[in-house]
Each structure stands twice: as structure tokens, then as C-alpha cells.
Amino acid sequence: MPPEARETGQDVPVVDTPPAVFVRLDVIKARADFLRAARARRSGQPGFLLQARARGDDDSPRIGYTCSKKIGNAVTRNRAKRRLREVARLVLGEKAQQGWDYVLVGRPNETVSRPFDQLVDDLKRAVAKVHA
């Protein structure tokens, strides 16, 4: 019996939720990999720019994030990167292809202020465009 039920004496329904799936994407850290992705396919969306390239191997997909000082101060840049990381976790966990590098580039004013569900839709559209 949940603790809330003991206190109030009422039956509190227990909802069975499926376990959360956390997909850990490998992170791009080398500058050369960011530059290679910048020369490859692009898909501009209102909330960010997606750069993607096929590496030519069958290793796991990798993701990189970049937010320049045009986005704002350090607090704003970190918030933008946190939002991009969460969007990538939700979308690229199932849509990313093996052997690909993806780089999400934040946009000034948009990455931080755009509603989160629209950012998710933007990434789904961008990935479909890159792989078409």
C-alpha cells in the first residue's frame, strides 16, 4: 500500500508505467569530427541546424552539440545545450543510423525559447530529411 493511502485511509491507485528507456549516444569531442560534419548534409530547422554525415563504418551513431556566443551568456548556452541533449536522446535513440555523426547547432533566441515539443518535431523532420 502506498504511504499516501496509509495517511488518508483511502486506496490510491498504483499506475504501472513502463520503465524509462535511456539511450546513451556516443559524443563527438574532436574538432576534426565537427568540421567533417559541417561539410556534410545539413537540415535547417526553426530551433536548430542539424549537420549529419556517414562515417563509412558500422559503429554506433555519435552526436555533437554546439552553441556559440551568439546564443547568449553561459547560462543561456548551457540551457540550449541541455535542451538539445534531451531532444537528441528522445529522437535519435530510435532514428539514428549506425555509422553516422550528427551535430546539433543551436540558434540564437530559438533553441531556448521554442516549445520543447516543437523542438522534438523539428529533429524528427530534420533526421528524415537528412536520410532521404
**Axis crossing angle, helix 74-95 with helix 116-131, rounded to the nearest 10:** 50
**In terms of pLDDT, which residue wins out, 9 or 50?**
50
Distance CA 44, CA 31 (A): 21
Q: Residue 50: pLDDT band by 50, 70, 90 thresholds?
A: very high
pTM of the model: 0.79
Determine contact, residues 97/52, Cβ cutoff 8 Å: no
Tens of pLDDT, residue by residue over 93-112, are 888 888 899 999 999 999 99
Q: List CB contacts of 27: < 8 A, sequence separation 6 or more.
A: 62, 63, 64
CATH architecture for residues 24-131: 2-Layer Sandwich (3.30)
Spell out the domain ranges in the chain: 24-131
pLDDT in the model for residue 9: 58
- Whether 40 shows a pLDDT value over 70: the answer reads yes
**Dist. CA 45–CA 13, nearest whole Å:** 42
Q: For 57-84, what is the mean pLDDT?
A: 92
Confidence (pLDDT) at 31:
95
Task: Report the chain's mean pLDDT, rounded to a whole number.
Answer: 85
- Model confidence over 5-38: pLDDT tens digits? 555 556 655 555 445 555 567 899 999 999 999 9
- pLDDT band of 83, cuts 50, 70, 90: very high
